Structure 1
Amino acid sequence: MKKTALNDTHIALGAKMVPFAGYEMPVSYEGVNAEHETVRNGVGVFDVSHMGEFLIEGPNALALIQKVSTNDASKLTIGKAQYSCMPNEAGGVVDDLIIYRIKEETYLLVVNAANIAKDWNHISAYNADFGATMRNISEDYSLLAIQGPKAVEAMQSLSSHDLSAIKFYNFVVGDFAGIEHVIISATGYTGSGGFEIYCKNSEVQQVWDKVFEAGKAYGIKPIGLAARDTLRLEMGYCLYGNDIDDSTSPLEAGLGWITKFNKDFVNSEALKRQKEEGVHKKLVAFEMLEKAIPRQGYAILSEGETVGNVTSGTMSPSLNKGIGLGYVPIALAKEDTTIEIQIRKKTVPAKVVKLPFYKV
């Protein structure tokens, strides 16, 4: 089991530790509902240092990124970030990721922890045609997600940069918590605003301590992976391995908005054809119509027939109702369509709804 640089800190705080993507990670501290609430209404901190980071540099860095990702990275200027995904050759998704343009010819790719080796090998194979300089810096860097509506106010004393001026999916490289050259990025996977802080492993304890000192007056708390999952699901954000994987197309997953056909990328011709012909199944959001919790893997039914499976599901702490995502045939993907979820021996009605579940 790998450990993040803050492992001892989490244990000292009484975190429940679990294996996740090859790392020992804090799943919760005081309980998922309380932690979820902290992020929705105040400010909380996640240690997500298990995520992978690749630096891609040189004159052909952009060309390589354009080839392996679906979004148009040529639109990125220095200080901007972009959500994207990497398609495979068979119509599925290798991973979803965030691409940062750090300098003119330097890009940072942030990938999912479980996919670090797979992603590295995939990009490297295509780099044979481009010759960009690639560096896997995953083992050297830590990542903290400081999330919630009070994040800007609580953290402002730690930086000379005006944090409120950093727009969504923009970032600065500057001073934070007494450390120079930290990436302060207005990104996150919770839907409640805030920042992600990238720093070296040797610096993260200082950053963590100062963040909690600065946030004390704002009720700041450490948050585990369980609440990260309920927060992202309330927004309808895809989780790799659940809602998207090597067999699901970005168009089926509702990621057409990050799939740009103004360039050539891996499997772009086939995906373009799929867009023109239309998909046969689609990832939909649904709410339970009775008190019940849908879980990953539960069958989705229509008129007694199994038509799909739940890919993500939970009891929403904000809405106090069961919510989920799953793939269904296109005929059942329309808003307000009634479906059923097989929960043990019972079928429970649900209806297809528009995302996000949680509306600010």
Structure 2
Amino acid sequence: MGKSLQEALELAGSPIEYVSTIGPHANSDQLRLFQDLPAQVTNWREEQQAWADSCAVADLSHHMIDLHVEGPDALRLFSDLGVNDFSDFEPGKAKQFVACNPDGYLIGDGILFQLGENEFNLVGYGPINWVQYNLETGDYDAVAERNEHCGVREGPPKDFRYQVQGPDALSVIEEALDGELPDIPFFNFGEVSVAGHEINALRHGMMSEPGYEFFGPWEHSDDVLNAILDAGREYDVRRVGGMAYPTNVIPAAWMSIPLPAIYGDGMEEYREWLGADSFEGALTIAGSLESDDVSDHYLTPVGAGHDRFVDLDHDFVGKEAVARQLEERERTKVTLVWDRNETLDLFGSLLDDERTYRYPTLPVPEWALTQNDKVTKDGEVVGVANNTRYLYWERNVFSLCAIDSEFSDPGTELTLVWGQAGESANPRVEPHEQKEISVTVAPAPYFEDKRKTADYTNA
């Protein structure tokens, strides 16, 4: 049996030392999220473009964890841990489940489906182990079953998940279905028939257009996928590979994979339960944000834009702290649009004998799953940027950012610091000098959101 995360932290000396160091824990199979997807099916530029111009099909079957929880106390478990409103939760509904530590910092979020009266499925990363830990150590009459992601799972997944997005997505879906597309409200799901198989369709949208996510038993996966692709031929449908898929966080304004807030006082028992080779234990941080306080690398629900989900009419872990966040609103979520000329200068340094900036790979320039870059105004840190992505159809680079509220107005000009100070412990990071990039504040989501319905804020 491997050592616990708590034991690994004690050996490292401090949380910052541990999460900043590329060691055996960071090479864990836990981080091989997209190994079962081709990096590019055609090429990542066309795959991105399909999200904006036609229809893109993304395979979500492999890279996330499913936690199936069933029992009389299953809903109480999620209500005790989640900031969300569960008062009207019922079979056929889904919600973006958000979990915090006792100090109100974000542990993670995922999509929670209510499959039956006492039956739920949580899909994602960050909150999965936290929910399972509380189920196993708490007084809950429920049981859980995990379906791991491809990095640690042997064999195929239990279920498939296909996300169909883009301006032509509804037309493709209507042609792929065996019957009529039912009227499914936003973030609800219902049964549909594809290729003769009864499966589920979740209405949502990772892009600015309405779309659907289909899920069902793995044995039907090929039939369903082929039916969708056949229906999409006249719309120039594209399958999305592992390179393009993570870039949809910008249109969705979703801050993916933040550093889980599990390293402070009061979380020791959880870290003793959690393995050092767990998903959380394998994460490392990168970026220009420098701090010896690991909490500076955390997000709050408000800073991550999850405030619309918070329900203070029930008790949950971190409630008092989250209530203060809602009142004070120190930081809010925005999109940062990179200055094109300075971005060109960053890439141009590859052809310059005098300058070496941190190499920005495309379409995901970041060099860690959790990367935090400082954002400044007149030299003072006013925010933390994350999820930096290049969007081919915009020909530009964007970042999401938790920014001090006084600097959140669209059009505000700020500076993002790119690269790490000093020598990096990451062997993938070459010696380089930092570069300041001018950025402009824009709304999050950046694009016009056409997904919303009257019940969107209750999702």
Fold similarity call, TM over 0.5: yes
Moved more, 61-70 or 85-94: 85-94
Determine the structure 2 residue equivalent to 1:347: 436
Determine the structure 2 residue equivalent to 1:240: 257
Q: Which runs of no fewer than 5 residues in structure 1 stay unpaired? A: 1-18
Query: Of the candidates 120, 137, 143, which is equivalent to residue 133 of structure 1?
Result: 143
Superposed displacement of residue 23, structure 1: 4.1
SS at match of 1:230: helix
Higher strand share: 1
SS at match of 1:38: helix
TM-aligned CA distance change 1:117 to 1:84, over 3 Å: closer
Determine the structure 2 residue equivalent to 1:215: 232
Alignment of 1:34-45 (within 5 A): 34-45=46-57
Moved more, 279-288 or 41-50: 279-288
TM-aligned CA distance change 1:152 to 1:202, over 3 Å: same
Superposed displacement of residue 161, structure 1: 4.7
Superposed displacement of residue 175, structure 1: 2.4
- Asked if structure 2 preserves the Cα contact closer than 8 Å seen for 1:92 and 1:250, the reply is yes
- Residues 288-344 of structure 1 show CA distances to partners (whole Å, capped at 9, x for unaligned) of 244344855443222134444421222333333332122333433333322112345
Which one-letter code corresponds to 1:194 in the other structure?
Answer: G
Superposed displacement of residue 69, structure 1: 1.2
Query: Of the candidates 122, 139, 152, which is equivalent to residue 133 of structure 2?
Result: 122
SS at match of 1:37: helix
SS at match of 2:109: strand
TM-aligned CA distance change 1:116 to 1:327, over 3 Å: closer
C-alpha separation between the residues in 1 aligned to 2:340 and 2:225?
42
- Residues 192-237 of structure 1 show CA distances to partners (whole Å, capped at 9, x for unaligned) of 3221111222221222222222222222221123333323213322
Query: Of the candidates 86, 105, 121, which is equivalent to residue 108 of structure 1?
Result: 121
Residue 152 (1) aligns with residue 188 (2) = no
TM-aligned CA distance change 1:257 to 1:151, over 3 Å: same
Determine the structure 1 residue equivalent to 2:311: 260
For CA contacts below 8 A with separation 6 or more, give which structure has more relative contact order.
Answer: 2
Alignment of 1:281-360 (within 5 A): 281-293=331-343, 296-343=371-418, 344-359=433-448
- Asked if structure 2 preserves the Cα contact closer than 8 Å seen for 1:291 and 1:321, the reply is no
- Asked if structure 2 preserves the Cα contact closer than 8 Å seen for 1:85 and 1:95, the reply is yes
Percent identity reads: 22
Superposed displacement of residue 257, structure 1: 0.5
TM-score, scaled to structure 1: 0.83
Determine the structure 2 residue equivalent to 1:96: 109
- Asked if structure 1 preserves the Cα contact closer than 8 Å seen for 2:178 and 2:195, the reply is no
TM-aligned CA distance change 1:287 to 1:140, over 3 Å: same
SS at match of 2:322: helix
C-alpha separation between the residues in 2 aligned to 1:150 and 1:179?
23
Moved more, 255-264 or 182-191: 182-191
- Asked if structure 2 preserves the Cα contact closer than 8 Å seen for 1:315 and 1:322, the reply is yes
TM-aligned CA distance change 1:218 to 1:123, over 3 Å: farther
TM-aligned CA distance change 1:217 to 1:290, over 3 Å: closer
Superposed displacement of residue 245, structure 1: 5.9
Residue 172 (1) aligns with residue 212 (2) = no
C-alpha separation between the residues in 2 aligned to 1:287 and 1:252?
18
TM-aligned CA distance change 1:292 to 1:229, over 3 Å: farther
- Asked if structure 1 preserves the Cα contact closer than 8 Å seen for 2:83 and 2:310, the reply is yes
Residue 51 (1) aligns with residue 61 (2) = no
C-alpha separation between the residues in 1 aligned to 2:143 and 2:180?
33
SS at match of 2:321: helix
C-alpha separation between the residues in 1 aligned to 2:143 and 2:192?
24
Which one-letter code corresponds to 1:108 in the other structure?
Answer: N
Determine the structure 1 residue equivalent to 2:37: 25
Q: How many residues are paired up?
A: 336
- Residues 123-159 of structure 1 show CA distances to partners (whole Å, capped at 9, x for unaligned) of 4246x22212323245412211122222222232443
- Residues 9-44 of structure 1 show CA distances to partners (whole Å, capped at 9, x for unaligned) of xxxxxxxxxx74374433322332211111222112
TM-aligned CA distance change 1:150 to 1:261, over 3 Å: same
Larger radius of gyration: 2
Q: Which runs of no fewer than 5 residues in structure 2 stay unpaired? A: 1-30, 149-156, 263-297, 344-364, 419-432, 450-459
C-alpha separation between the residues in 1 aligned to 2:316 and 2:302?
15
C-alpha separation between the residues in 2 aligned to 1:63 and 1:117?
16
TM-score, scaled to structure 2: 0.66
